[in-house]
Amino acid sequence: MRTARALNPNAAHAADDFPRQVSDLIAWTSRPEHQGIAARPLGPHAPPVWILGSSDYGAQLAAWLGLPYAFAYFFMDGQGVEQALDLYRRLYRPSERHPTPQATICVWALAADDEATAAYHALSRERWRVDRQRGVYGPLRSPEEVQARGFDDADRPMVDAMRRRSFVGTAASVAERLRALAASLDLDELVINTWAHDAQARRHSYRLLAQAFALDTLPPLEVA
């Protein structure tokens, strides 16, 4: 919170100011100059502006402004996603650039060559989530450290609940569950976010999932 206050001393009024800030951002990215400020570098077209949120507020603001909306599914393992997307679609006001609503969700997922390896690397996020729930903040711990320490009996219900809702496993199993989730929410796309203590495991997860999804319509991808 000290860092957040340093970056935004007026955070207490952030919710009231946010709609105006979004409108300013749209103006800055779509006009050569706004309020005497020029955004640089200029590209051939304005970058798309999305609203990312994890509550009904963001969904309603995106609908009011006629902007694409991304629900941060990974914040609360999907809690509230159906209501947020329903509000966004029902209240959507068409805009010139976005005549129809465009929604996605940001999901945490981790794939590996086998289920055991994926579960092993997921330990880092599980430990981080448990610690954060207790008010203990810090970087991701290595899976070796988490495995050696284990989880207390008091942690077990939260860990078990996370594992039931998680997208962790082989690329085929994770991709199948992600497709089912997208279909249930009537989505054309998903954003996948992966935290892992081992950068190689993170990159390998992205590579495996890219290949799993590309196989639907394309030959196997070679991802660097």
Q: How confident is the model at residue 59 (pLDDT cuts 50, 70, 90)?
A: very high
The 10 Å CB-count burial string (b at 16+, else e) for 90-118 is eebeeeeebeebbbbbbbbbbbbeeeebb
Rounded Cα gap, residues 198 and 215, in angstroms:
26
Question: Across the strands, what pairs with 168?
Answer: 110
Looking at residue 218, its pLDDT comes to 42
Q: What percent of the chain has pLDDT over 70?
A: 88
**Rounded mean pLDDT of the chain?**
88
Average pLDDT for residues 13-39, to the nearest whole number?
A: 76
Looking at residue 34, its pLDDT comes to 67
Average pLDDT for residues 156-171, to the nearest whole number?
A: 95
Contact 63, 93 (CB under 8 A): yes
Rounded Cα gap, residues 188 and 14, in angstroms:
31
Global confidence as pTM: 0.83
Q: In this model, does residue 5 exceed pLDDT 90?
A: no
Looking at residue 166, its pLDDT comes to 94
Looking at residue 24, its pLDDT comes to 82
Looking at residue 221, its pLDDT comes to 40
**Length reported for the chain:** 224
Average pLDDT for residues 121-133, to the nearest whole number?
A: 95
Q: Which helix (H) or strand (E) holds 193?
A: strand 191-193
Q: In this model, does residue 142 exceed pLDDT 50?
A: yes
Q: In this model, does residue 205 exceed pLDDT 50?
A: yes
Q: In this model, does residue 38 exceed pLDDT 90?
A: no
Q: In this model, does residue 52 exceed pLDDT 70?
A: yes
- At 24, the amino acid letter reads D
Average pLDDT for residues 95-100, to the nearest whole number?
A: 93
Q: Which helix (H) or strand (E) holds 209?
A: helix 199-214
Looking at residue 217, its pLDDT comes to 47
Contact 174, 207 (CB under 8 A): no
Looking at residue 11, its pLDDT comes to 67
Looking at residue 105, its pLDDT comes to 97
Q: How confident is the model at residue 39 (pLDDT cuts 50, 70, 90)?
A: low
Rounded Cα gap, residues 97 and 33, in angstroms:
19
